[in-house]
Amino acid sequence: MSKKRILIFASGRGSNAEAIHGACADGTVNGEVVGVICDHADAQVLGRAARWGVPSVVIEKKDYPDKAAFDEAILKAAVSFTPDLICLAGYMRICGENLIHAFPDRILNIHPALLPSFRGLHAQRQAVEAGVKVAGCTVHFVGTGLDDGPIITQVAVPVYDDDTEETLSARILEQEHPAYVRTVRAFCDDALHVEGHRVTGMHAKEK
């Protein structure tokens, strides 16, 4: 089976991107990172891409007159990499519907909460403030709504009485990297199947 072409979207540090690239490099994932698209020219992930020898493209919203023009530029750049899979790795913008329709069930995101709870920004803060006793992360396909695409896998972590947004975020992050890598591996092995809002094959793969 030929390697899947993986395109990374990121806005900041790129720690999940590093985990995915590392898993491709060591053979855990049957794929290769072919490019990085970033919406901040000073993001650390661009340094990672340079170190990997992977091309990167910076597309900042401030350079475009409106969201439609920005979304079109993102789509054009994404298509140029001919990816089999797009991985959102700390990408802090909502994908345009044009991108989602161009790559149906081929865009992955990881969210630091157990969806469908605590969608959107500051999910860890939302969890602490809500007083839940279990939080975690979710890897899902990207849909046209906010964090609403089909759920692929979830990992739970405890929430302790003295947790803050920062301490809970750190505990969840420890689980994000391996969860994302497992999901990307399953995708690249053609193990995932989407039926409506349900994804099968992920946990059968792990048994």
Active-site residue numbers? 111
Long-range contacts of 185-188 (CB under 8 A, 24+ apart): 185/23, 185/28, 185/29, 185/30, 186/152, 187/4, 187/85, 187/108, 188/3, 188/4, 188/6, 188/29, 188/30, 188/31, 188/84, 188/85
The encoded tokens of residue 12 equal: 């900041």
- Is the model's pLDDT at 205 over the cut of 60? no
pLDDT at site 146: 82
Q: What residues are paired with 135 via a beta bridge?
A: 157
Per-domain boundaries in the chain: 1-103, 110-207
Q: Per-residue pLDDT tens for 27-83?
A: 999 999 999 999 999 999 999 999 999 999 999 999 999 999 999 999 999 999 999
Phi–psi pair at 200, nearest 5 degrees: -115, 160
Q: What is the CA radius of gyration of the chain?
A: 17
Q: What is the pTM of this model?
A: 0.94
**Which superfamily is assigned to 1-103 in CATH?**
Formyl transferase, N-terminal domain (3.40.50.170)
Domain 110-207: CATH architecture, name and number where available:
3-Layer(aba) Sandwich (3.40)
Neighbours of 75 (CB within 10 A): 18
Q: Are 187 and 85 in contact (CB under 8 A)?
A: yes
Q: Per-residue pLDDT tens for 92-105?
A: 999 999 999 999 99
Q: Do domains 1-103 and 110-207 have the same CATH topology?
A: yes
Alpha-carbon distance 27 to 92, whole Å?
29
pLDDT at site 10: 97
Alpha-carbon distance 52 to 108, whole Å?
21
- Is the model's pLDDT at 204 over the cut of 60? no
Q: Per-residue pLDDT tens for 140-199?
A: 999 988 888 999 999 999 999 999 999 999 999 999 999 999 999 999 999 999 998 999
